[in-house]
Amino acid sequence: MPAVRVTKPLSAVTPFKRAVLKHRLTLKDKLDVLDFCDANENSGMSQEDIAHLLRTRGYGTVHQSSISRWRKNRESLKARAKNPNELRFKRIRQVEFPDVDQALRTWVLQALSSKTRVTLTGHAIRSQARVFAAAFGHSADFMSLSNGWLESFKQRMGLRQYHFHGEAASAPVETLEAEIQRIRTIMDEYAPRDQLNFDETALYYCLAPDKGLAVVQMSGIKTLRVRITVGICTNADGSERFPLMFIGYARRPRPFRGKDGVDLGYQYWFNETAWMREKIWNSWLANLNDTMAQQGRKVLLLVDNAPSHIHKPELYPNVRVEFFAPNLTAWIQPNDAGIIQSFKSNYRREFILKTIERANNGEQNIYKINQLEAMELATTAWNRVMPSTVVNCWRHTKLSGPKVDPDCPPSTHTPPTLVSDVGQSVAELQQSLDALHARENLVLIGDPMRAEEFLAADADVPTEQILSDDEIVDEVKRQMQDADTESQSFGLEEDETVRKTAGQISTTIQTAQTRDDVLSSLQGLRDFISGSNMPEFDSDLAALVRIEQKLSKLNNM
């Protein structure tokens, strides 16, 4: 009979007993133990006392050394927990080809975060795995990718549906409730004003609603699809209006008149594609971290699994970045629940009002504006997004507001619909379009473009750098080299610690017993652990071996 899952957190006030004695703990169990230790940090209980108490509550293998080790490895445990599919596993699952696995994960995440229509199948995953295997120089033995391998990879990625059209339709809705509970548990550690969500969106900033319009003096309107990327950050109670992030094509576009974006009062970055990239993400994250540090705040930042959102958490101590589970963005991210829609509705309305003003002034190309004008309009549009809109969108995703009723899980039929005040901004945009259509110097060529069509024009435009297979391989190689360097550095420090410890032990045991006796005891302890089914001590075996080796060298001196 499987163990009964208890989702209620451990509590020193309200004790509970597990139905089954657990000898091997899942990742979630270990995190629950750490939360329990944190809650009782000032209770006067030692780690040994806590371990004894937990053993009486069903955690049969928890000892003081277990708690100490988990506390030491807290960050790595939390890092694993960012993938909610890892919570139910008891051991870190090793893969035979970690380089191929990492590259394939990046490729899948890139496919899932793509705004374009994608079909992701088991055959496609296998084919891409073979491509990466060849790129990393693995032998042809890798080419036999079994169904078991595929199922294991799907489990690690949390993939359950593979044919999809757009982000919302492909959401693994059966995991939605668990993901909401996971995120809300983390959010409980922060005040609503310190719960943040960031997302990027593409903006065709001088796009004409030209489905059914033409200027009399012109044979037609050339569709201007000039794009910038806009980053939007909100907090759960709508109390702060974080500045928009802008990404353009040039450092100093001509309208900037030789000045940088920061000199003009904007958070502005640039590259040749106007896409979000890892370097820009880290620069923006550093700015946010500095701002929070100055205010004496620590915040939670919820973001999607976009490939560019790579960072080192230790560099940003005041910002905890938490990723949504892959492919749940349209269902659970507040900015996608209507905040971006409201912003774009406001922008399009401001843009149309500007075109009407230009038409009144007799200008020819009424739709053509420059990037600086677009950034000014965007800032005005952002300032018109009401705090109530932000709060309602956060509540709409069930990330804030009343807790989700387990007996009434979130809807799995459609993505979150727009709340009423978002609908109002769309209605105001439609009124502006109607006013533009009514201009006497404009002729209707066909059906006028509706507000919804106008807003959808750039809804599916990518905001990410799309990595090629070669670029993914190069990035994985770089990451693995960095990891090897850090591991070697840690190993040197650990060896030094072992050497000092062995020296201290040898000095102490001279007054009590011989080195041979100690070596014999260590050998017995190592044999006992090796022959026992106690995986939580696996990481300690190497340390025992090194201590034996150091003592043996001292014995021969």
Element (H, E) at 200: strand 195-204
pLDDT for the residue numbered 279 = 93
Give me the mean pLDDT over the 25-54 stretch.
82
Give me the mean pLDDT over the 274-283 stretch.
93
pLDDT for the residue numbered 417 = 41
DSSP 432: H
- When mean pLDDT is compared across 20-24, 139-143, 437-441, the lowest value belongs to 20-24
**Structure confidence by residue, pLDDT tens digits, 354-385:** 988 888 888 888 888 999 999 999 999 999 99
pLDDT for the residue numbered 504 = 53
- Quick check: 482 pLDDT over 80? no
- Split at pLDDT 50, 70, 90, the class of 416 is very low
pLDDT for the residue numbered 95 = 61
pLDDT for the residue numbered 189 = 93
- Quick check: 188 pLDDT over 70? yes
Residue 135 tokens, joined: 């790129």
Give me the mean pLDDT over the 222-231 stretch.
77
pLDDT for the residue numbered 57 = 75
Burial of residue 67, with CB atoms counted within 10 A of its CB: 0-12 exposed, 13-18 middle, 19 or more buried: buried
pLDDT for the residue numbered 33 = 85
Element (H, E) at 301: strand 299-303
Beta strands in 34-75 (DSSP E): none
pLDDT for the residue numbered 414 = 41
pLDDT for the residue numbered 500 = 55
Give me the mean pLDDT over the 509-538 stretch.
63
**Would you say 106 and 472 are in contact if contact means Cβ atoms under 8 Å apart?**
yes
pLDDT for the residue numbered 375 = 97
pLDDT for the residue numbered 168 = 43
Over the chain, what is the mean pLDDT?
A: 75
Give me the mean pLDDT over the 269-287 stretch.
94
Among 473, 75, 63, 110, which Cα is nearest to 275's? 110
- Read off the pTM: 0.62
User: Per mean pLDDT, which of 82-96, 292-306, 507-521 is the most reliable?
Assistant: 292-306
Please tell me the distance from the alpha carbon of residue 277 to that of residue 521, in angstroms, as a whole number. 55
Residue 157 CA: distances (Å) to CA of 92, 152, 305, 321, 325? 14, 9, 12, 19, 9
- Quick check: 249 pLDDT over 70? yes
- Quick check: 192 pLDDT over 80? yes
Residue 459 tokens, joined: 């809804």
pLDDT for the residue numbered 218 = 36
- Quick check: 196 pLDDT over 50? yes
Please tell me the distance from the alpha carbon of residue 74 to that of residue 93, in angstroms, as a whole number. 18
- Quick check: 466 pLDDT over 80? no
